[in-house]
Amino acid sequence: MANGPQKRVLAIHDISCVGKCSLTVALPIISAAGLEVPSLPTAVLSTHTGGFTGFTYRDLTEDMIPILEHWKSLGLQFDAIYTGFLGSFEQIDIVCKIIDEVGKNAKVFVDPVMGDAGKLYSVFPDNFPEGMKRLAHKADVLLPNMSEAAFLLGEEYRPGPYTEEYIESLLKRLSGLGPRKVVLTGVFFDDKKLGAACYDADTGKVSFTMAEKIPEYFHGTGDVFSSAIVSAVMNGLPLDRAVEIAVDFTHGSIMRTYRAGTDLRYGVNFEEGIPRFLKQLGL
Ligand code: PXL
């Protein structure tokens, strides 16, 4: 049970009304883990952009500074800031300013959401990765997938399978952009297992956590994974244990969805994995 005040984790992501990703994933998962989740929506979309056509897109860039100013007038400071999908290029610098002004003692988790399978999401301009480096620089924990890692480092995306040496080199170079801790998702060395690699610049330690690989693309799993990491770390668990728990939670969500045979564009069934996830967090 809680002792002391609840921690406040500011979540900065879009609301994709349908399709389970970003805020509709971050809010239930992090809240279930006992943390308060004030939210700053970056855009409102009728669905996410992956696999649907004709989606609506309301960019909320203009609201962000007035929202920040109101929060400052209330003297708010957050214990953590967790950023994901941003609604425009201009939001990159706005989010940096938010971190500076209401995250003075916050642990900063940056999921540099930009793309997958080597492609930028269709709504982002080509210079988006260059800007995202400024936000990555502010992260305590950076949470890219393999495509986002390549975009941030300005190198060509490799489809895999990978070698441990290549993954280690990516992790260390990503940490060189600023973050002391990096968790890379979509890591695989053969076609049987898929997982995450974790690097802590303070200990120099690299660790890998793998689970069974399912040969399909599951939407929203990056957000499920990152939300689980934020939940575990803000509950005081060490990052390598947080990664194990997040891999287990994400893999369970994928297996449940795969067995149900539902349309994969509508996201994974993470909800039914929440009780097991909370037990692993010791809650
Ligand atoms: O899950 C990443 C994500 C978040 N938000 C929107 C997206 C995507 C991935 O496609 O389209 C709007």
- Residue 255 sits in a domain whose CATH number is 3.40.1190.20
Containing structural domain, residue 138? 9-273
Residue 161 confidence (pLDDT): 98
Pocket lined around ligand 1, Cβ cut-off 6 Å: 14, 16, 21-22, 45, 48-50, 85, 113, 121, 220, 222-223
Contact of 110 with 136, CB cutoff 8 Å? yes
Residue 278 lies in a domain: no
Per-residue H/E/C for 169-195: HHHHHHHCCCCCEEEEEEECCCCCEEE
Residue 2 confidence (pLDDT): 58
List, as own/partner pairs, every contact residues 254-258 make where C-beta atoms lie below 8 angstroms and the sequence separation is at least 24, other chains included: 254/214, 254/218, 254/221, 255/212, 255/214, 257/218, 258/214, 258/216, 258/218
Residue 134 lies in a domain: yes
Residue 251 lies in a domain: yes
Q: Please identify, by atom number, the ligand 1 atom nearest to the C-alpha of residue 22.
A: 4
Give the residue, by CA position, lying nearest to ligand 1 atom 6: 48
How much distance in Å is there from the Cα of 176 to the middle of ligand 1?
26
Q: Say if residue 197's pLDDT is above 60.
A: yes
Give the residue, by CA position, lying nearest to ligand 1 atom 1: 220
Residue 213 lies in a domain: yes
pLDDT in tens, 25-59: 999 999 999 999 999 999 999 999 999 999 999 99
pTM for the model: 0.98
Q: Which of 39, 44, 53, 85 to mutate to test the pocket of ligand 1 (most atoms within 8 A of CB)?
A: 85
Residue 251 confidence (pLDDT): 98
Q: Which of 111, 121, 226 to mutate to test the pocket of ligand 1 (most atoms within 8 A of CB)?
A: 121
pLDDT in tens, 145-167: 999 999 999 999 999 999 999 99
pLDDT in tens, 100-153: 999 999 999 999 999 999 999 999 999 999 999 999 999 999 999 999 999 999
C-alpha distances (whole Å) from 103 to each of 89, 166, 274 are 21, 33, 28
State how many domains the chain has. Answer: 1
How much distance in Å is there from the Cα of 76 to the middle of ligand 1?
28
Residue 4 lies in a domain: no
pLDDT in tens, 212-247: 999 999 999 999 999 999 999 999 999 999 999 999
Query: Comparing C-alpha atoms, which of 229, 14, 78, 31 is closest to residue 142?
Result: 229
Percentage of the chain modeled with pLDDT above 70: 99
Residue 1 confidence (pLDDT): 52
Residue 132 lies in a domain: yes
Q: Say if residue 93's pLDDT is above 70.
A: yes
Residue 1 lies in a domain: no
Residue 31 lies in a domain: yes
Q: Which of 49, 55, 266 to mutate to test the pocket of ligand 1 (most atoms within 8 A of CB)?
A: 49
Q: Please identify, by atom number, the ligand 1 atom nearest to the C-alpha of residue 222.
A: 1
